[in-house]
Structure formats: C-alpha cells, structure tokens
Structure 1
Amino acid sequence: MAIRPMKFTPEVLIGAPRRSSAVPNAAGTLAVYTQTSYSFESHAKTNEIRVIDIDSGRSALITNDPGANNPQWLDNSDQLVWLKTKANGNTSFIIGHAREADKTYTAGTVPGPVSDLKLTVIEPGKLGFAVSGKANPDGSLFNPHDVKKPHTSGKLYTSLFVRHWDSYVEPQKNSIFYGLLEKTPLSPTRRQAGKFSLSGITNLITVSGLTGVESPIPPFGGTGDFDISPSAIVFIAKDPSLNPATHTSCSCYYSPMFSWTSWTNMSAPDAKVCKVAPLQGAMASPVLSSDGSSIALLTMREDGYESDKNRILYVPNPWNGEMIEIFKSDDGEGLWNLSPSAVSFAQDDKSLLIQVEETGRGILYQLPLQNAREVKPDALKRLTRTGFVNDVVPAAANSPKLFVSSSSLVDNSLWTIIDPSHPDHVQVVSSSSRGGAVFGLAPTQVDEIWFRGAEDHPVHALVVKPSHFKPGEKYPLAYLIHGGPQGAWNDQWSTRWNPAVFAEQGYVVITPNPTGSTGYGQPFTDAIRGEWGGKPYIDLVKGFEYIEQNLDYVDTSRAVALGASYGGYQTMWIQGHPLGRKFKALVTHDGVFSMTGQLASEEQYFPLHDLKGPIWKVPDNWAKWDPSRFTEHWRTPQLIIHNEKDYRLTIAEGLSAFNVLQLKGIESAFLTFPDENHWVLNPENSLLWHHTVLNWINKYVDLPAVSEEPDLSSGAAKLSV
C-alpha cells in the first residue's frame, strides 16, 4: 500500500497515535499494547487497548474504554486482564479475550485508584498480582473521591518537602498492594464457573511492618520500582530515616510471599533489606529471577546525587547476604564507565539484559552471570546499535529471543524481535510511522558531528536536516540545548522537544551534548559540578564555531537557540555573554534566572550537589554562575515560557527574566500555562506552545509563521526604561 506522507507539523506530532511498549503472549503469536491519540477537530482524546498479530502485523481493537489501562496476559491462554478506572475513583479488574473482544467481565473491584499492574503465575488458574496506589496513614487504599472538603485551605509544614514536582506533599503515600486472581473451579451449580475472581488487596508495606517507607518512589516511580514472582516481591524505596528533599539514598526490600491472600504472625512477610555499604545512593530497576530466588538492580554510590553512575548489583541469594557489584574495581570507580538505565534477567536467568545510554543512543547489552564476581566489561554482548531501546521482554515463553520496543528521531515506535545469538538478524514486527515515512521523515535526515570543546575534550552532537534538504543550499540554525543538566539528546522520539518539528520548518537542527551530558562516561557527566556556566558554555561556543567553519549548509547568520530547564538556564547565561550576540532570537522554557531561586526548589539535594554546598557555606559558588549578574549585557530578543505549577523551578524565575527584558526595551514575550508543571502535557496547550515558539523564532530568520497569532495578550503596553 502506498504511503502518503504528511507534512510533519506540531499538529501531526501531538495528534499522532502514541503506542506503549508491547508485551507478547506466552506463545509469541500476539502482543498487547495501549495506544492514545488526540483530535484537534473534536478536541478529544482516544484511548485504546489493542493486540497485534506478530506474523501478519495486523492490529485489532480490544477496547476503547477511556478508563482502560495496564493490559496484561493472564496465563498461557489468549486471555487478558486490564484495569478500568471508574468515575467514583474505584478500579475494576476486567477480563477479556484477545480474539473475542466482545467477551469481557469484571473479576472484582478495589475501592480506589491503582495502577502499574504486574502478574505472576503461581499455578494454573491462580495468579498473584501487584499494583501501586496511594495509601492512607493506616495503610488502607486512598480514594480522593471519599475525602471531605476541609473548611480551610491552609497547610502547615514543619520540615522540608513542602511541594514536589507539581503538587503539595500530603499524608497519603505510595504503596504496593498485592492479591490473587483465581479461576473458579468448573461446577454446573456455580454461575461463575471457570471465571477469574479477585481476592481483594493487601498493603505489602504495612503488613511487612515497614514504617515511613514509600514505593514506588515519587514523582515518577512506577512498574520499574518493583517486581514480582510466585515466591517474592522486591521493591525499592528511599531511606525513610533521611529527608527526601536532601537525600537520594535508597534501600531494596525483598519480601517472601508465603501467602498471597491472608497472613498470620508466622507467615507475614519479613522484608529483607538488600544494600551494599559503599553504595549509599539512589536505586532503580529491581528485578527478580523467574523463581524469585535472585535479585538484580541498579544502585548509585553517592547519596544526594541523582545522576551518579548506576552500578549493577546482583544478589544470587537474598537470604545469605551475598551481594555482588558487577564490574567492581579496587578504586571504587567501577570497570564500566557507562551508567545503565534498566536491567532484567534473560529468560533462562543465566544472563542479564542491560539498557544503557551510549553516545546518543539507547543500547541493549547482554551479560553472562557465570563468575559474576570476576566478569569484565569485555563480556558484554551488544545486541542493538541504532535508535533508543525503551523496553525488552521475552518474545515467547521458553524462548531466548527478545521482543524489543524502541524509537528514533524519525520513528516514534518500532517493535522488533532479536535473537541474541544473531543480533544483526532483526525481525521487524511493526513500525508505527513506517520508519518515519508516514510523517515524511527518513533516517537520512539524521547525521552527527564531533568537535573539540573545553579542555580539548571531544563533544558529540546530533544533526537533523529538513526532509527537503538540498546540497548547496543554506539553512538557518536551531541550536537546541538539553536540560538536566545531566541529560542528553539521543536518537530517540520525543513529543515535547522534537528536533524534526524544527527541521521541517526549514532549520538545520543541531543538538550538542556538552559537559555534564550522560552517555559519554561518568567523568564527563560529573565534570559539570561547580561549572554550570563554565565548561558547558565553552563547549557550546566551540560547537558554534565548528558549525561556522565546517558546515557550509548552515547559515549561522540566521541562528536561534532554545532550551528548557538547565537548557533554559544556559540560554539565560548565553544572553549575558558573547555567544548571545550570535543568535537572532532565544527561547527559554522554565529556566533559571537567579541561582538563589534554586532555594525555592523542592529537591534541594540537586543544587547542594552541583554547587558544592549550601549558599551560606559557599556563597561564591552560587553567585559565580548566576545569570542575573549579567543582565547588563542582555541584547537578544527572547521568548520566556514558564508554568505556574512548576515547583522545580518556580514561575518567579520566568517573570524576573521577562521583566528585565521589558525594562531594558528588548523585544520579548512571556507565555505561561497556569495548569502545567515543568512540562506542557495538555495537547491543546502543547499546540499553542509549539505555535508560539515556532512563530517567535521563524520571524527572526525570515521563515513563514506556522499559524496566525492567537489573541492571548493581556493588552499591556510594552514598557521601555
């Protein structure tokens, strides 16, 4: 069938179907996934659970119930279970069939919102499950619909962590709840014969006797913070004895599951803490072997540093206390300088599957566990080379093949099957955008460059050209600066900062990964500490010079720079320094105007680490890299975007910058969303964001506007002082 590409506009990006990772059934014939899309014509979102036939690539709708989510295969059959959010806040467990979408029933309902469903087969017809949900202080499941409206809106706090991400901290905490889905024995006298029913749910953290423990870890914790097997549940949580605003230290808890329904004093799970003394930092990706007897997880060494290197910890037997740090070295730095993002056991439990960021890609490796104490990085087997792996699961029960979900800068969702014994022989199951062709995009648009930055260190950048690129012609430059600052631009799809959207306007988009970026070795990531406006800024200057001197298809006289979060900090820093005069316009999204504004942030460990201490002990460190000190030199037109519910970088930062620009008579604009946090998630808001940003930069480089300017102004007159 011929592909009719559409112009890749913000409307297409935001409205295009978004697929989750897919999960195959035991036979490896079908895979289930969720898909959402948004229509700007009806102003409505669609939500679907779908199943794809792996051989034919045909997809079938299972349900488009807007409350349906978290589909999972029940056992070795083609039956599915998913969660359904109800209007009263309760959650139902719905049983359906992959080949008979009209045959569904409710196995049971729990009295509140839960998510992150995981299943494990205990025996045929008997499945254990775990979900996450908010718990009241007494351990019961919290339902916000049951809360009576108070007579006052006041909130009193006596310790750190007043707010987190986009909400005020409340007494309800995340918890893991477990229970059973059990098939009723066949009997002619029972009307529900052969159907699954829900046992109810129990709070694992409460029955384990753990006080102050919260898991999944807010604000982004989910299924990656716990794992289940027939015999155990493992989960991670921040150390409850330390304040989460100033510490990242975590513990891993291993809870044996002697019963999945009720407990006595003898059978209650006694959670065992798994932690290696030298590794006192954050943890991630706890997973169990198939029988629940072994654990693997990622853990950092340094408390208070969220971007420290993840070490792989292997616990062959939680009961005897043996814990092995993979690639351990005598100097404590570790033999592998990359930082894995996820780990899992292979189907036979004899090796680990490791996802890691590496030079602008998300790579999948396999590592044998034999002689785990002595294994070296050269034992790693690389299974992928391009794009960015998002998830990996077995392609079928008892099969060594892997089902991999990934994306790239031009392909929003790619599913493949890989045989680790022949990783170069890749079976493509499905590409949502047909390799980008549906959007008019192609892999040939993506290139990369290396240049010498601060202290002559090599710096990497991805390059995205317009689909209509013609050799010999020149194109304006969009210089995108990533956030973090310990982050990176990767060959990965994004629905918020998508380089291809800018490229299709007619820009050559260059995304440098300066000092502090991840995926280039831990020393390079760590080197930004105490250097916010130092080495990274030099890298950006050197990168711009490299583009001027070497990329003859880039018109650097028509250049714009954009950044969010730390990238927003960097655009403000650039504004006050010579590089700022190289750009026709700047865009700052939720950035930093003054370093003292960091004191209003929620996770205080972040500035304490990066600035090497609190402001009263190292005031010079805080002052040295403060963009507000250099407002005398501000000259370049600048768009400021800052959201009301951003509690990481408060709106005062954006307003302060905009007020300075206005007082100095510099052409500027301010866009805010009262209902958005550090990101812009509402589709209609996202469309306005894109139109405002693109219209702003396009007018300074003589590119056409993407839309008519909406009438959103307050009517205030421009002030020049």
Structure 2
Amino acid sequence: MKKYLSLIFLIIFISVTISPQSKRVITIDDLWAMKRIGSYDISPDGKTLAFTLTSYSFDTNKGNTDIFLIESDGKNLRPFKNSDKNEGEPKFSPDGKSIAFTRDGQIWLCNVDGSNEKQLTNIYSEASGFKWSADGKKILFVSSVYPDCLTQDCNKQKDEAKDQSKVKAQIFTQLMYRHWNDWRGDKRSHLFILDVASEEFKDLTEGNTEDVPPLALGSQNDYNFSPDGSEIAYALNPEFSKATSTNIEIYLLSLSAPASPKIISVSKGVDCQPVYSPNGKWLAWSSMKRAGFEADKKDIILFERNTGKMKNLTEDLDRSVEEFIWSPDSKTIYFTAQNEINSSIYKLDIENGEITLFHKDNYNTNIQLSKDGKTLFFLKQRATMPSEIYSLSTDGKNTLRQITKINENLLSQIEMNSVETFWCEGANGDKVQSILVKPPFFDPAKKYPMVFLIHGGPQGAWEDNFHFRWNYQMFASQGYVVVAPNPRGSTGYGQKFTDEISGDWGGKVYTDLMNSYDYAVKNFSFIDSKNTFAAGASYGGYMINWIAGHTDRFNALVSHAGVFNLESMYGTTEELWFPEWEYGGTPWQKREVYEKWSPHRYIHNCKTPVLVVHGAKDFRVPEEQAFQLFTSLQRLGIESKFLYFPDETHFVAKPLNSKLWWETVYDWFKTHMK
C-alpha cells in the first residue's frame, strides 16, 4: 500500500511539473543562458557531426565557444574541445581520421577522439576561415596582412612600430577608411595556402590591396578549391576602395602552373560564393545584376569550365538565393531563399532547370549534404527555439529529424507562443504580411498592450526565427502583443516589392506600416488601442524617427541606431553605394530627395516620448545621428531619454549591456502605460 501511494504521488508530481501552469515567462537571464550553435561539419561517413557551442556569462560579460560531437542520429553528445579558450571552425579531414579547428588564431589538428593534438599553423598574422582540399593535402585560409609585406617578420615589425609610436594620428587618402565598427587601417585580408605535411604556407594574393574575402557584400563561402586541387576560385572587389562600388568579381587562379588570376564573372553587381561541382565540370556562384545595389535579386550562375558558357539557373524564380550546395552526383543544387517569413530550402535540377520547394517552414540555414547525398543537414530555428541541427532525407520521404536539443531543458520551462500572421491591404492595394505573437498565458477575453516592431535593412524582414537581440518572446513576456510587419522593402515577397522602398523611404512603406497597425487594432479585440508602443533599429530606427514627426498613434517610441538626418548621414557613413542607390545620388545631386525623406525636417511635429539608443562604435549609422535626434527632442521639450553605449556598435552584443537595454526598454514602455 505504501509503495502504491508513493507511486501515485510520483505520478501527480510529474504531471504537475510538466503542466503548462508550472511554466513561466522568459527572462533576460534565460535569453543569455541559452547556448548558441554556430558552425558545424559532417564526417565523411555521415555518422558524426562536430559543431561549435557558445555559452555566455554575466560574470565575464562575454561568451566562450567550445566544440562538441554528436552522432547523426542525435545520440552520444560529448565535448570535443572544451576549455576556457575559444575553439571554432571544426572541419573533418577528407579521410575522416582527424578534425581541424581554430584556437588562438591558429589552425590545429587532432584525432577524432581529440587526442594527438598538433598546431598546423604558426603564423604571426593569424589564420581563420580555413578549407580542406579534396585530397586533404592542402588548406586554404585567410589572414590580415600589410599588402607590401612579403614576410611575417615585416607584419610583426610594422605592428610593433605602430604600437610603440607616441603619435596615433592617421592620414587617409581614400574612402572606406572605416567599416561597420572597425577603423580599416592599412591591413588587408589575403588568401593563403598551407601544405599540411610540411606546414609551409604561401600568400596567394600577395601585394593585393583589396580583401579576399570581400570586406562587405560577399558570402561566408567566397573561396574554394577545385575538386582536383589544381585551381581555386575566389571573390574580390577590385573597386572597393572607392566605397561606391558593389562590383565583386569571381577570379580563377591556377595552382598547377604560374599564372595571373583571371576574372570570369560579367555582372557589374555582386558576384560571390563560387562553388565547384563535385565532378569538376561546372562552377556556380550567386550574382546580382545591378551595379551599386546591395539588395538586388541574387541568382545562381552556372559556368561550364571547358567552354566558358554561362547560364542563369534561377532567372524565373522571384526569390533571392542565399546559400547553395551541390549534390555529390553534380545533378542537383540545394539552396535557401527568403520566402515570406521563412528561410526555405529549394531543390534545383541542373538538367531541366526545374525548381521545387524542398522544405518551407521556419528559418533554415547552413545547409550541408552527407557524402552519399541521402541526407541534408541544416540549422533550423523558429520564434520559440534557437538554432538546432536538423536533418532531412533527400529521397522524397521528407523524414525530418532533430539532431541536437541543446536548450531543450530550459525551453521546456518557458511558456512561449508561436508566430501567427495576418495580411492587410497596403499602399496601392498591395498585400502586406505581418507577424503576430501573443503574450504567454494568453487569455482572449483580456486586453493587452501592443509593441509594434519595425525591421532594419530596409531590405530585410521579420522572420520565424529566434532573434537574440530583437526577440519577439522577450517583448511578449511583459504582457504585450507583438506585431511585426513586413512592409515595402521587405525581402521574401518578390524583387518588385523589395525595390519599391528605394527613393521612397517614408512613402509607401509608411502607408504599409500604418495600415498594418490600424488593421491589428481594429480586428484583434485583445489589443488595447490606448496602449501601443513602437520600436525599431537602423532603418527601423529611421522609421521610428519618421513616425515621431508624422503620427501620434503611439504612447512611446524606441529609436535604436536610427537614421535622423539623411544629409549628415551621407557624410559620416562608410558604404556610400547605399545612400547613393536609395536616394538616387549624392546630396548635391538629389537634394530634394534627401530633404523630402529626412526625419529631422519633421521632428518639430513630434508629440510622443522617445527613447534614443546608440553605440559609439557604430560606423554604419554614426552616433551623430542620435546626438542630433536627442538634442532636437530636448529642445522641443519632448519627453526623451538617451541610452548611450560607449563600447557597443550597431548592435548591443555584450551580456550586461543587453540586460541594461532590455530593462531600459521595459521601463520606458511601463512608464508610458495608460
């Protein structure tokens, strides 16, 4: 009887602990307790995966990356390289007997059980982004060097002289002297080749004054060996120093005979991601047609190596290709593309050109195939789950398997709602899709305040993903309904829809957004129309600044890294092709456009409290934009607050800074709740 009662109590205890009522809302601590999968690789036999896992700490205020192994059936998760140092980029050798990885800026090699560790490179300028040749005898890697230095001693001497000099001044003679969050300096990223047996390395782009891979607009796959190892293909922008060119080209360099690299791409836009077919017959790459436009449609170009003939394989697909891979038999290409709120996986038949939607839902990236071509691996995330490794059979049976479950225990304790979507009529009668996320423990009979999120880009989109900075669940956890529209300019809805924001930053897109807002307030009875708030970053911050001068719909606004004065922004940002495309030219050529769409010209109409957020190391939208905005708000007597991060960039990346960001935003909304 005693055992029987104990069993009953145990059953009751288990049922209570897993019941929905026992769950809780997500917290800032939860967000930073979640481990993040980065890169991964598959063993040649397809049985084992190596992947990186980053854990963050509030105590150290940073992350630490380790390498783990797991079987492809999801069993036997185990640490491979787990230390207080950052280990990354695990890649199995082609014979499957060893794994190479990076640590302390060098490439290391060891057995698959982690034993017999050996440092492959000892290069002063450090090595990263490495790739094996098919025979395992060579490795490509990149390193940042002074173009005029022919030895590593030269690089070291120049660095030491710079560090020891009491004069820190710099002289610039051309643009692109800084980029994103770094002063560019005199170094350039060069492509090196390493002989694994001798451990000798050589600079393949010696003397080149431009970067391989390109400093911007390229991909994570911008150089590769040919299958026979006799040639490499790489991407480089020969005009990048002008800061106005997006003309990345594809180069071929013979390794079997002395020769100069030759350009094979023909587009004046971005050509990158050159990938050889396994049979060596073709080289494919992604390509944009229009010069000067960073968000043009990306197609897959097929280049026949023997004849030089080219073909656009995705000409008729109204989606923009992101990453792609070849099947082992060279008959199929798998690729990802933004597809409404999803990053979907597509399958392309090389022979007949047929494209089929292979896997639609959620946000899928980092696609890889097993060596036998029978299993597709990828990272999947959605609004209720950070990235995990999944696999899908390629035999048409669509057998989907979740391999890793890194954050399963923590996620099981948290109440979160999946994304829903709704469509409304935007400008010109076009349909606009919005994401809606309900707060945890949602009660349809109650009224909830709304947070209206505006994405950046502007050629970007809100997606079904788990964003670690602008996280739907973190906003919803405070009892808000989250509405995140994809207005004009958003990707995943065809190139025409994407194009229609250029030259019209506060026009149709503003109509799309306000129509989405009005539709949500009118059609969802659980939204409290008296308590609505809006927030956005980058272009989203621009639109918040535009909203401040054009409507009083919202209780309060959050402008993070927002563009405020288009003309001064032009003079302080770094990638000039962006404003010159978006506004049709320079401020002196298109002054009326810059004036028409600049939020600073309308800020005197503002009646809404604004929280301004900016990082000092943001060179994309420089801090002077925030200074001007906050000064204007203060002089106008508008309630405003300025959260300034002297150690952050365009993004808030440090754990403790992120915690302050969330707490400040939460408090701002709460303060202005009616």
CA contact (8 A) 2:453 2:485 kept: yes
The offset of 1:103, in angstroms, is 4.1
1:520-599 to 2 correspondences below 5 Å: 520-578=493-551, 581-599=552-570
1:411-490 to 2 correspondences below 5 Å: 411-422=385-396, 424-434=398-408, 437-438=411-412, 440-442=414-416, 444-490=417-463
Aligned mates of 1:42, 1:615 — CA distance in 2 = 45
Q: Deviations over 1:499-538 (max 9, x none)?
A: 1111111111111010011110000000011110111111
Match of 1:161 among 162, 172, 176: 176
The equivalent of 2:5 in structure 1 is none
Q: Which stretch shifts more, 504-513 or 211-220?
A: 211-220
CA contact (8 A) 2:176 2:574 kept: yes
Aligned mates of 1:364, 1:305 — CA distance in 2 = 25
The equivalent of 1:360 in structure 2 is 341
The offset of 1:6, in angstroms, is 5.8
Matched, 1:297 2:285: yes
The offset of 1:19, in angstroms, is 0.8
Q: Match of 2:54, SS?
A: strand
Number of residue pairs aligned between Structure 1 and Structure 2: 647
Aligned mates of 2:265, 2:476 — CA distance in 1 = 47
User: Structure 1: which 4+ aligned runs deviate by more than 6 Å?
Assistant: 1-4
The offset of 1:108, in angstroms, is 4.1
**When the two structures are superposed, what TM-score results if normalisation uses the length of structure 1?**
0.86
Unmatched runs of 5 consecutive residues or more in structure 1? 86-90, 183-197, 259-266, 328-333, 703-721
The equivalent of 2:275 in structure 1 is 287
Aligned mates of 1:409, 1:468 — CA distance in 2 = 16
Q: Match of 1:582, SS?
A: coil
Q: Match of 1:567, SS?
A: helix
Matched, 1:129 2:126: no
CA contact (8 A) 1:284 1:342 kept: no
Q: Deviations over 1:520-575 (max 9, x none)?
A: 00000000111101111111110111012111111121110000000000000000
CA contact (8 A) 2:451 2:483 kept: yes
The offset of 1:160, in angstroms, is 2.0
Q: Match of 2:664, SS?
A: helix
Q: Match of 2:103, SS?
A: strand
CA contact (8 A) 2:32 2:56 kept: yes
The offset of 1:438, in angstroms, is 3.4
The equivalent of 1:170 in structure 2 is 185
The equivalent of 1:493 in structure 2 is 466
Aligned mates of 1:617, 1:665 — CA distance in 2 = 35
Q: Match of 1:641, SS?
A: strand
The equivalent of 1:17 in structure 2 is 35
CA contact (8 A) 2:106 2:127 kept: no
CA contact (8 A) 1:658 1:670 kept: yes
Matched, 1:249 2:223: no
The equivalent of 1:69 in structure 2 is 88
Q: Deviations over 1:146-170 (max 9, x none)?
A: 4542332221122222321112222
**Could you say if the C-alpha distance between residues 682 and 514 of structure 1 is closer, same or farther in structure 2, counting changes exceeding 3 Å?**
same
The equivalent of 1:335 in structure 2 is 316
Match of 2:623 among 647, 651, 676: 651
Match of 1:314 among 271, 295, 302: 302
CA contact (8 A) 2:219 2:273 kept: no
CA contact (8 A) 1:54 1:429 kept: yes
Match of 2:356 among 381, 385, 397: 381
CA contact (8 A) 1:80 1:95 kept: yes
The equivalent of 2:103 in structure 1 is 84
Matched, 1:58 2:76: yes
CA contact (8 A) 1:639 1:668 kept: yes
The equivalent of 1:95 in structure 2 is 109
Q: Deviations over 1:30-80 (max 9, x none)?
A: 100111111225645332111112224331111223132211112333421
Aligned mates of 1:616, 1:108 — CA distance in 2 = 51
Q: Match of 1:571, SS?
A: helix
Aligned mates of 1:558, 1:630 — CA distance in 2 = 24
Q: Deviations over 1:264-317 (max 9, x none)?
A: xxx2243231112xx210123221122544211111111111001112111121
The equivalent of 2:375 in structure 1 is 401
Match of 1:694 among 642, 663, 666: 666
Aligned mates of 1:603, 1:624 — CA distance in 2 = 22
The offset of 1:345, in angstroms, is 1.1
Aligned mates of 2:410, 2:543 — CA distance in 1 = 31
Query: Which AA in structure 2 matches 1:427?
Result: R
Q: Match of 1:224, SS?
A: coil
The equivalent of 1:719 in structure 2 is none
CA contact (8 A) 1:25 1:78 kept: no
Match of 1:660 among 625, 632, 656: 632
Matched, 1:214 2:211: yes
Q: Deviations over 1:581-605 (max 9, x none)?
A: 1111100011111111222111111
Aligned mates of 1:423, 1:651 — CA distance in 2 = 52
**Could you say if the C-alpha distance between residues 388 and 32 of structure 1 is closer, same or farther in structure 2, counting changes exceeding 3 Å?**
same
Aligned mates of 1:516, 1:159 — CA distance in 2 = 31
**Could you say if the C-alpha distance between residues 552 and 6 of structure 1 is closer, same or farther in structure 2, counting changes exceeding 3 Å?**
closer
Query: Which AA in structure 1 matches 2:316?
Result: L
Query: Which AA in structure 1 matches 2:506?
Result: G
Q: Deviations over 1:429-458 (max 9, x none)?
A: 12333398336245x531011110111110
Matched, 1:391 2:405: no
Unmatched runs of 5 consecutive residues or more in structure 2? 1-13
Matched, 1:325 2:312: yes
The equivalent of 1:191 in structure 2 is none
CA contact (8 A) 1:411 1:436 kept: no
The equivalent of 2:132 in structure 1 is 119
Match of 1:27 among 42, 45, 60: 45
CA contact (8 A) 1:413 1:433 kept: no
Q: Which stretch shifts more, 48-57 or 503-512?
A: 48-57
Aligned mates of 1:44, 1:682 — CA distance in 2 = 6
Q: Match of 1:657, SS?
A: helix
CA contact (8 A) 1:6 1:438 kept: no
**Could you say if the C-alpha distance between residues 435 and 255 of structure 1 is closer, same or farther in structure 2, counting changes exceeding 3 Å?**
farther
Q: Deviations over 1:231-264 (max 9, x none)?
A: 3221111133x64411101110122332xxxxxx
Q: Match of 2:491, SS?
A: coil
The equivalent of 1:225 in structure 2 is 222
The equivalent of 2:6 in structure 1 is none
Query: Which AA in structure 1 matches 2:382?
Result: S
CA contact (8 A) 2:621 2:650 kept: yes
The offset of 1:228, in angstroms, is 2.3
Q: Match of 1:530, SS?
A: coil
**Could you say if the C-alpha distance between residues 413 and 638 of structure 1 is closer, same or farther in structure 2, counting changes exceeding 3 Å?**
same
CA contact (8 A) 1:82 1:94 kept: yes
Query: Which AA in structure 2 matches 1:248?
Result: T
The offset of 1:135, in angstroms, is 2.0
Query: Which AA in structure 2 matches 1:322?
Result: K
